[in-house]
Amino acid sequence: MHTAVNHSHNWVKRAIQLIESDYQRSADTHLIKLNVAAFPAVDIYLKDESTHPTGSLKHRLARSLFLYALCNGWIGPNTPIIESSSGSTAVSEAYFARMLGLPFIAVMPKGTAKKKIEQIEFYGGRAHLVDRSDEIYAESHRLAKELDGHYMDQFTYAERATDWRGNNNIANSIFSQMKLEQHPIPKWIVMSPGTGGTSATIGRFIRYQQCDSKLCVVDPEHSVFYDYFQTGNSTTTLDRGSNIEGIGRPRVEPSFIAGVVDEMIKVPDSHSIVTMQWLHEHLGRKVGPSTGTNLYGVLQLAKKMQQNGESGSIVTLLCDSGERYLDTYYNPQWIEQTIGDISISRDHLKQLLS
Ligand SMILES: *Cc1c(COP(=O)(O)O)cnc(C)c1O
């Protein structure tokens, strides 16, 4: 018995050491300055989270969730890891599960990008598909029970697994990279919610550091976060998933902390898509659709600042690369079938940028 406990203790120590040494070998992500001719007085920045080893901001979350679970004694040398995910979190968790030699199963809705499923399998994980995006939670609980595994539950633990006071979290990194800019304290930081964890980290950090920055959260068309923010009703649900992968939820996730949000904007899916396309042309790089949602929010706020004669900076996130979505968001046929006619949004964006 004693030996078994020691063995497990040593295993946990080794597991944490593996994750920490991986972190030590990693570099910070870039903060890209975007020049938008329509808003000469507003400096716009993109925190490029696509450059993590597993390709998205979820690399940070996966690392935090594994460390949190290990330090809580929830994971041992033989614990299968289960997660409910629309894809990106599962890719990053599969990477860390393989690092620790643990089996990994992702419970995902059918229709998740093929590239993501391939990436999960590349890291030795397995995809377990369900019909509807609101079924992933119950199925994850069931699997964890059946396999004596641990359900990571990003939608509950994202906000508390991350060290919000600092310790190299994403907000910490943004503010330190902004230090030498003309407007080092952003007027706004804009983020779209999936778990809500990143918004929570940024919002709490702003308050803790006593900054004047405000947090604007941009919610996609098919999601309940915006309604919840307006009404305070946390039981609102939708019977469908979001069209913008990675963001928008059919239920109010526990990790979404409305109290740290200063403003929310609801963004139609077609606006997100045309802004994503605009950024692709402007940056010479494909970005994911949630980055389109983020940037649309930024452009709205920039326009308002310009109308009020204000100058300053706005920071948002480039959440992942568009290379993952070549057969979906970068396929005009798929867009027409899934999102519909986007020509009105194209005109709208043109006007916003004129
Ligand atoms: C998860 C995710 C988001 C939202 O981040 P949260 O911290 O979960 O709110 C945005 N974009 C992409 C691509 C994501 O995977």
Is 69 found in the same domain as 52?
no
Q: CA 324: distance to chain centroid?
A: 15
- What percent of the chain is helix, strand and coil (3-state, nearest 5)? 50, 15, 35
Is 95 found in the same domain as 64?
yes
Residue 222 in domain: yes
CA distances from residue 19 to 14, 22, 47, 77 in whole angstroms, order as listed: 9, 5, 23, 15
| pLDDT top residue among 229 and 166 | 229
Q: How many helices (H) and strands (E) does the chain have?
A: 13, 10
Is 182 found in the same domain as 111?
no
Residue 7 in domain: no
DSSP class of residue 241 equals -
Q: Please give the Cα distance from 180 to 174 (Å, whole number).
A: 12
Please report which confidence band the pLDDT of residue 1 belongs to, taking 50, 70 and 90 as the band edges.
Answer: very low
Q: Decide: 193 in ligand 1 pocket, CB within 6 A.
A: yes
**172-184 tens-digit pLDDT:** 999 999 999 999 9
Q: Decide: 321 in ligand 1 pocket, CB within 6 A.
A: no
**209-225 tens-digit pLDDT:** 999 999 999 999 999 99
Residue 205 in domain: yes
**Cβ contact 257:196 at 8 Å:** yes
Please report the pLDDT score of residue 5 as a whole number: 53
CA of 189 to the centre of ligand 1 (A): 15
Domain boundary among 158, 184, 206: 158
Please report the pLDDT score of residue 6 as a whole number: 57
Residue 10 in domain: no
Domain boundary among 92, 127, 158: 158
Is 121 found in the same domain as 39?
no
Is 284 found in the same domain as 204?
yes
Please report the pLDDT score of residue 168 as a whole number: 86
Please report the pLDDT score of residue 112 as a whole number: 78
Mutate which of 247, 261, 264 for ligand 1 pocket (most atoms within 8 A of beta carbon): 247
CA-198 nearest atom, ligand 1: 7
CA 24-26-31 angle, 5° bins: 130
Select from 99, 80, 97 the least CA-distant residue to 21: 99
DSSP 136-164: HHHHHHHHHHHHT-EE--HHHHHHHHS-T
Q: What are phi and psi of 42, to 5 degrees?
A: -115, 120
**Residue 3 reports pLDDT greater than 50:** no
pTM as predicted: 0.95
Is 232 found in the same domain as 98?
no
CATH number at residue 326: 3.40.50.1100
Domain boundary among 158, 179, 207: 158
Q: Decide: 58 in ligand 1 pocket, CB within 6 A.
A: yes
Please report the pLDDT score of residue 324 as a whole number: 87
Q: Decide: 198 in ligand 1 pocket, CB within 6 A.
A: yes
Q: What is the pLDDT averaged over residues 148-154?
A: 97
Residue 19 in domain: no
Is 343 found in the same domain as 250?
yes
Q: Decide: 197 in ligand 1 pocket, CB within 6 A.
A: yes
**282-298 tens-digit pLDDT:** 999 999 999 999 999 99
**265-285 tens-digit pLDDT:** 999 999 999 999 999 999 999
Is 198 found in the same domain as 228?
yes
- CA-nearest residue, atom 2 of ligand 1: 246
Q: Look up the domain containing 89 and give its range.
A: 58-158
Is 257 found in the same domain as 117?
no
Count of domains for the chain: 2
Is 94 found in the same domain as 52?
no
Q: Please give the Cα distance from 134 to 22 (Å, whole number).
A: 34
Residue in this structure with the two tokens 């998740």, named with its chain if needed: 112
**Residue 4 reports pLDDT greater than 70:** no
Please report which confidence band the pLDDT of residue 153 belongs to, taking 50, 70 and 90 as the band edges.
Answer: very high
CA of 309 to the centre of ligand 1 (A): 32
DSSP 281-303: HHHTS-B-HHHHHHHHHHHHHHH
**85-124 tens-digit pLDDT:** 868 999 999 999 999 999 999 999 887 778 888 999 999 9
- CA-nearest residue, atom 14 of ligand 1: 246
**64-89 tens-digit pLDDT:** 999 999 999 999 999 999 999 868 99
Residue 82 in domain: yes
Residue 139 in domain: yes
CA-197 nearest atom, ligand 1: 7
Is 92 found in the same domain as 213?
no
Give me the chain's average pLDDT, please: 95
SS3 217: strand
Please report the pLDDT score of residue 2 as a whole number: 38
Q: What is the pLDDT averaged over residues 327-331?
A: 95
Residue 220 in domain: yes
Is 317 found in the same domain as 186?
yes
- CA-nearest residue, atom 12 of ligand 1: 246
| CB under 8 A, 24+ apart: contacts of 307-311 | 310/41, 310/187, 311/41, 311/42, 311/183
